[in-house]
């Protein structure tokens, strides 16, 4: 199974998760930043990582997602919000909407990651009634996000992608069995 792992990373969070995922696939996978990623056409499986921007994949990742045709795809992401939040789930769903209907989404992973300090400074300058104004709760979340991704996040990503790899290999083996059975029937 020829695997392509592509990531878009602003602060290094998503790159680190991509590297952890790459360890699952080893030499069977190629790892690229989105800026230098090859066409996904020659690959069987494509994993795309992004940082969440305005509730979806960042623009570079969006553009890459649109190029994928007829593949098994998995998404992974980092965000400043909590990974079990509605915002996190919506962000993955919104990013998946950039995939062509001919693709098969086989899994997702999301974890917290530190927020770009420049963005936090922008938030601090917003008026109190703005949806992104800094509150004590948000400040606590920013501080928690700054600790991520951590080893537990990397292990969780690897567990998800180990399961995805097993699933894909089972499907490939099933397909080979069906082809072999069909060839045997024709002889």
- What 3 state SS string does the chain have? CCEEEEECCCCCHHHHHHHHHHHHHHHHEEEEEHHHCCCHHHCCEEEEEEEEECCEECHHHHHHHCCCCCCEEEEEEEECCCCCCHHHHHHHHHHHCCCCCCCEEEEEEEEECCCCHHHHHHHHCCCCCCCCCCCHHHHHHHHHHCCCCCHHHHHHHHHHHHHHHHHHHHHHHHHHHHHHHHHHHHC
Q: What CATH number corresponds to the domain at position 96? A: 3.40.50.360
Q: Is residue 143 part of a domain?
A: no
Q: Please count the structural domains in the chain.
A: 1
Q: Is residue 61 part of a domain?
A: yes
Q: Is residue 128 part of a domain?
A: no
Name the phi and psi angles at 49, rounded to 5: -110, 150
Mean pLDDT by 10 residues, the chain (187 residues): 96 97 97 98 97 96 98 97 96 98 98 91 88 88 93 98 96 70 53
The answer to whether the bond into 149 is cis (omega within 30° of 0) is: yes
**What whole-number distance in Å separates Cα of residue 81 and Cα of residue 112?**
6
Q: Is residue 133 part of a domain?
A: no
Output the pLDDT for position 187: 47
Range of the domain at 69: 3-113+148-186
Q: Is residue 69 part of a domain?
A: yes
Start-to-end CA distance of the chain, whole Å, equals 28
Q: Is residue 140 part of a domain?
A: no
């Amino acid at each position: 199974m020829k695997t392509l792992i592509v990531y878009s990373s602003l602060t290094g969070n998503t790159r680190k998760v991509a590297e952890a995922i790459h360890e699952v696939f080893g030499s069977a996978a190629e790892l690229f930043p989105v800026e230098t990623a090859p066409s996904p056409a020659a690959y069987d499986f494509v994993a795309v990582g992004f940082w969440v921007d305005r509730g979806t994949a960042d623009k570079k990742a969006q553009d890459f997602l649109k190029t994928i045709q007829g593949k098994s795809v998995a998404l992974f992401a980092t965000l400043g919000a909590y990974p079990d939040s509605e915002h996190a789930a919506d962000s993955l769903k919104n990013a998946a909407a950039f995939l062509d209907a001919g693709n098969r989404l086989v899994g997702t992973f999301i974890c917290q990651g530190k927020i770009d300090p420049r963005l936090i400074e922008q938030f601090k300058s917003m008026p109190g009634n703005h949806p992104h104004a800094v509150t004590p709760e948000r400040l606590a979340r920013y501080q928690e996000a700054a600790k991520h991704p951590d080893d537990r996040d990397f292990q969780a990503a690897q567990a998800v992608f180990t399961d995805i790899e097993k699933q894909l290999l089972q499907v490939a083996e099933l397909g080979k069995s069906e082809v072999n059975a069909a060839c045997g029937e024709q002889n």
